[in-house]
Amino acid sequence: MKFLWAPWRMDYILKEKKGECIFCIKSERKKDSENLVLYRGRLAFIMMNRYPYNNGHLMIVPHRHCTDLESLNHLESKELFKLLKVSVVVLKEALGPHGFNIGLNIGKVGGAGEEHIHFHIVPRWAGDTNFMPILGETKVVPEYLANTFQRLQAAFDHHLKRRKGEK
């Protein structure tokens, strides 16, 4: 039998579940660094995944609780896609990945864990799938979330100010 120690998961396991949508909670609260929220748009926001597949794993989420793709209005769809594009640019500049996996989670059985639609952006590097997941059934994430958050927050701030014509 193999054991993978992940003591940080205990906070999540023991946390009282109130039946609230985690994305709605993150959308409403202003504890952005605690919630790993990197950017808040008018209709959507960008946040880091607390349990990332790879370093820099982001999620793009509409503020409004939306359960399926067809429920998004035109403006929400437009902003989600804009933030998706901005996230790819920022990740390229800040982390230098060789490629990306981008997916859309719809519904609990879609892997979302929540009935709130959201995009995932997973930066990928040549060789990021090595012997650890294959032989050790363990994924290695090479940087603390707080460090990645600081790097990406600075990159998003810089990029979004540059887009607005500020310096």
Q: Which of 118, 120, 158, 159 is catalytic?
A: 118
CATH assignment of 19-128? 3.30.428.10
**What pLDDT sits at residue 78?**
97
> Is the pLDDT score of 85 beyond 90?
yes
User: Using CB atoms within 10 A of its CB, is residue 23 exposed (0-12), middle (13-18) or buried (19+)?
Assistant: buried
> How do residues 116-148 score in pLDDT, each as one tens digit?
899 999 999 887 664 444 444 555 566 677 788
pLDDT in tens, 21-32: 878 877 677 788
Give the pLDDT confidence score for residue 152 in this predicted structure.
86
Active site residue 159: no
Share of the chain above pLDDT 90, in %: 39
Q: What is the pLDDT of residue 64?
A: 93
pTM of full prediction above 0.85: no
Q: Tokens 């032989």 identify what position?
A: 135
Query: Domain spans of the chain?
Result: 19-128
User: With 80 as the cut, is the pLDDT of residue 81 above it?
Assistant: yes
Burial class of residue 50 in the structure, from the number of CB atoms within 10 Å of its CB (0-12 exposed, 13-18 middle, 19+ buried): middle
